[in-house]
Chains A and B, each alone.
Chain A
Amino acid sequence: MKQLGSTPSDGTPARGTTPPTPHPRPPHADRASAVRRDREPQCCGRRTGTRSPIGDTLARVALVATLSLTGASGPAQDRNGKTPQPPKRIGVFFWHDSPNDEAALVGIRAAFAEIGRKDDIRVARAGENEAAGARILAGFQRDGVDLVFAMGTQAAVLASKHVKRTPVVFTAVTNPIDAGLIRSWDGSGSNLAGNSNWIAPDTILQVFRMTVPGIGRLGMIRTPDCIVSASELRALRAHSSGGTTPIEIVEAPVTRAEQLAAAVDRLAAQRVDAIWIPIDPLVYRNTSRLLDAARGRGIPLVSSSLRGTRTGATAGVVVDYVLLGKLAAAIALQILEHGRDPGSLPIGRMHSYRVTVNLEAARQCSYEVPYSLLLLADILLEKIDSVDPPSPRGK
């Protein structure tokens, strides 16, 4: 099945089209400014005349505290048992086994547990079979579920196709617009709502620059018909000319896994400073081959997925999928408890991201990760995982 606009197996975002900013100040701009603050102080000027994110957050916390202290009525009282609502039937639909999707489900469960909900959560997996997925979704509707969580891009696409009335909350969808789920980040206007694991290209490039200071040439290996990696390439190229040092992206197309080593050789011959593992199934599923080919060359592999970093990339940047799941649960709660129209809810995007560094991968590439990246890394991995970590499969 062609993975048009689908979320890859690890659930990392497909960034084919840069999403519009859902907020007055787009999250990726915040992230980029957070990362580049020491190098691009002019970014701070964007926030002139607006409230800072920290101030906004503190204001929210203060508001919540005030409401709690004054005993004002609200949803909290309902969840505290004052006006308990009956449990809902919730269907969770997986297209395939994905650690990131599973992590998102963990977040959903955790969020519901935090607020004391005891909903009937039914998990179903299509096993990458579209007919099975259709049957699962039809079963959900026949059973009268109150809401469907679509885990990942392909699951969301199928849900949007087969579920027309029941609210569908998707999560771990990299680019819902490119996937054809929505037309605007402000809302679907249909029964769809949800959030994205999208990370701004500037943030990705900034992490690459931190990985290889002074990077001038970035190699990229991809299959020509992969639209996700194509959109990634377009997005990064659109932003690679910015910053203090422009980055030239050298493309090395492959069609078979056996060509990966030769592609690494070609890129090394063109003196690239790093090789990017995009969200391209043929590539990220064979990270070990790339690592073998790059071994001892002093050229690090960089990735925009956690899986790529775990299996051989020296550095990567990812989102917290558990947190992403919690945010999706919050959207669902708006629909289930507050009766919000799914089509009116803005598509959520994360502000935070995780910088991941794999030390063993760096050593195998004979590359020394800069101290700055080591200190700023959110996740430091000592070893390379030969396979994906076990999925925290929900029930």
Chain B
Amino acid sequence: MESDRKPRRRVPLRTKLLLAIVAVAALMLGFLLLYFGPATEQSFSAASDEWIERTSAAMRELSRTDNENGQRLLNDLIRHSADARRRALLDIPWSLYSGDATLVSRAIEAQDAARSRRLARNVEVLGKELNRRAELRIAAYVETWNGQQRTVATAFGSRLRTLYLGLSGGVLLVLLLVLALGLDRAIVRPVRVLRQATQKVASGDLAVTIDRAPHDELGDLAADFAEMVRRLRASRDEIEDKSNQLEAWNQTLQDQVQRKTQHLQSALADLRATQLRLTHADKMASLGTLAGGIAHEFNNLIGGIRGCIAEAVASAPDSPAREPLEVALRATERAGTVTAKLLRFARPRVQGMEHARVRELVVEVVDLVEPQARRQGVQVELQVRDELDVRVDTGEMHQVLLNLFTNALQAMPGGGRLTITGRRVGSEVEIAVADTGIGIPEAQISHVFDPFFTNRTEHGTTGEGSGLGLSVSFGIVSAHGGRITVDSEPGRGSTFTVCLPGPDQTGGGR
């Protein structure tokens, strides 16, 4: 019946200690009154009796000695006085008085009077001396008695002290033991339990409970501690929830940041590539404009010159000047070819965009360069899926691939491996032409697509063409809406990558 139990009454610790002290004092006082009181009285009475007996015996002995001495001295005094008077009478000058009884009587009386005065004076002095000696004797006796009394008192005190100390020590020991046990039960144990609970809490264990707490200040402390632990536990749970939530938020944020970072990095790369392309395109555009203007003007001039020469040759077929004129005519034809290439670079045009299998485009061009590759000892490897197609001006694209293959073979005069890879990357079609040739120095990479740029190496290998092939290819690819890039490492080879819009995105040429 839990509800029927009366709650224990709370007793403050101070009240407990006060009650314990009062109890100890009462016990000690009771013990002293009941035991030490009669014992002390009896012991003191015995000591006093002993001292009084000793003192009385000493006083009796003193009185007896004084009496004996007094009697003896009085006898001596009587004898001495009689003898002294006798001798004094003998010394009276009898003859002086010639038998005059009055004079004799007067002389005797005078002698007696002088003797009486002397004795009176002696008695006075003797009285003082006897008083002095009596005081000394009394002082000596008092000192002796005091010494005896001190001895008796010391012995009494020693016995009493020993008794007191022994019994008090025993009683005190028992009471202290009881008090210690009470203190251990009332204070030490609850404090120890509280300390153990505190240590658990300190080690992180908040699932502690304190049972059987006393109903005093320590019990209040235990209750406060339990409440504190409960609140700590609630706070810790709340903190854990917040922490988990925060951690989730943090993870999300990190993912977002990572994605944003990747996006930004990609955007930055694209931006840089775009910037590079734009820069390059701008440069190519400028070059194209310049080259196109020059080529147009030179093409017009060369066309006029070639017409005149052709007319001169035709008009004088047997003339000795015919041979130089034919040479000049062939030179103008080559000049016309150059200007035509310049015009194709400056004004690329794609016409007749059509779907084409990339592999077929590549194989057709590879067939053109394979004899040269065989002669140079270059191994050609194709990694192009059959179904990969692209929408291009196949004629122009043939030119592009031919330029790239030719450049690759020119970079591998001593043999190597030419790898053509075709794949779809996102919405684009990527065609990579990789060689294991001499590579391009890093400083020259940004100029490989410039018109008339030829790759000069320290070994003396130079481009064998006019330096317009890559420029023309750049222009064609750009006209397709694509881009052409190069990665190269000197001594290990170069990779030219052509990215073209997928067949679904290709809208038409430029």
Which A residues form the contact surface with B (CB < 8 A)? 27, 30-31, 34-35, 37-38, 52-54, 56-57, 60-61, 63-65, 67-69, 72, 74-76, 78-80, 111, 114-115, 320, 323, 326-327, 329-331, 333-334, 337, 350-353, 359, 368, 371-372, 374-382
Q: Which residues of B contact A350 (CB under 8 A)?
A: 91
Q: What chain A residues lie within 8 Å of B121 (beta carbons)?
A: 380
**B104 to A63, Cβ gap below 8 A?**
no
B237 interface residue per 8 A CB criterion:
no
Q: Does B69 contact A (CB under 8 A)?
A: yes
Pair A64/B83 contact, Cβ less than 8 Å: no
Query: Contact between B96 and A323 (Cβ–Cβ < 8 Å)?
Result: no
Q: Which residues from chain B contact A61 at a C-beta distance below 8 Å?
A: 101, 104, 108
Known A-B contacts A76-B99, A371-B69, A379-B118; the reply to A57 vs B90 at CB < 8 A is yes
Tell me whether B73 and A326 are in contact (CB under 8 A): no
| Nearest CB in chain B to that of A58: its residue | B89
> Any chain A CB within 8 A of the CB of B224?
no
Nearest Cβ in chain B — how far from A195, in angstroms?
Answer: 10
Contact in complex: A60, B94 (CB < 8 Å) = yes
**Docked-complex contact B129 and A359, CB < 8 angstroms:** yes
Q: Give 17 A-B contacts (CB < 8 Å), ordered by A residue.
A: A38-B76, A61-B104, A61-B108, A63-B99, A79-B98, A111-B96, A114-B97, A320-B91, A329-B96, A331-B95, A352-B91, A359-B125, A372-B76, A375-B76, A377-B122, A380-B121, A380-B122
Looking at the assembled complex, report how far the CB atom of B64 sits from the nearest CB atom of chain A, in whole angstroms. Answer: 16
Instruction: Add 16 more A-B contacts to A80-B100, A372-B76 (CB < 8 A).
Output: A30-B87, A38-B75, A54-B89, A61-B108, A64-B101, A72-B99, A74-B98, A76-B100, A78-B98, A114-B97, A329-B93, A351-B91, A352-B84, A368-B133, A374-B126, A381-B125
Residue numbers in B under 8 Å from A375 (CB-CB): 73, 76-77, 80, 126
Cα-based distance from A395 to B104 in the complex (angstroms): 26
Contact between B87 and A326 (Cβ–Cβ < 8 Å)?
Answer: no
A359 neighbours in B (Cβ, 8 Å): 125, 129
Contacts of A374 in B (CB 8 A): 126, 129-130
Expressed in whole angstroms, the minimum distance between the Cβ of B448 and any Cβ of chain A is 141
Using Cβ atoms and an 8 Å threshold, which residues of chain A touch B80? 34, 375-376
List the B side residues contacting A37 at CB < 8 Å. Answer: 79, 83
Residues facing A in B81-139 (CB within 8 A) are 83-84, 86-104, 106-108, 118, 121-122, 125-126, 128-130, 133
Interface size class of B (residues with CB under 8 A): 35 or more
Decide if B93 touches A75 in the complex (CB within 8 Å). Answer: no
Known: A351-B91, A376-B76. A114 touches B98 (CB 8 A): no
**In the complex, what residues of B have CB within 8 A of residue A333's CB?**
95-96
Residue on A nearest B76 in the bound complex, by CB: A372
Is B125 a contact of A380 with CB atoms below 8 Å? yes
Q: Is the CB of B73 within 8 A of A53?
A: no
Q: Tell whether, in the assembled complex, residue A34 and residue B93 are in contact, meaning their CB atoms are under 8 Å apart.
A: no
Contact present for A323 and B76 (CB under 8 Å): no
Q: Are B73 and A371 in contact (CB under 8 A)?
A: yes
B94 to chain A, nearest CB (A): 6
Contacts of A330 in B (CB 8 A): 93-96
Taking a contact as CB atoms under 8 Å apart, the answer to whether B87 and A351 are in contact is yes
B305 to chain A, nearest CB (A): 171
Which residue of chain A has the shortest Cβ distance to B133 in the bound complex? A368
Q: Is the CB of B73 within 8 A of A76?
A: no
Q: Are A65 and B73 in contact (CB under 8 A)?
A: no
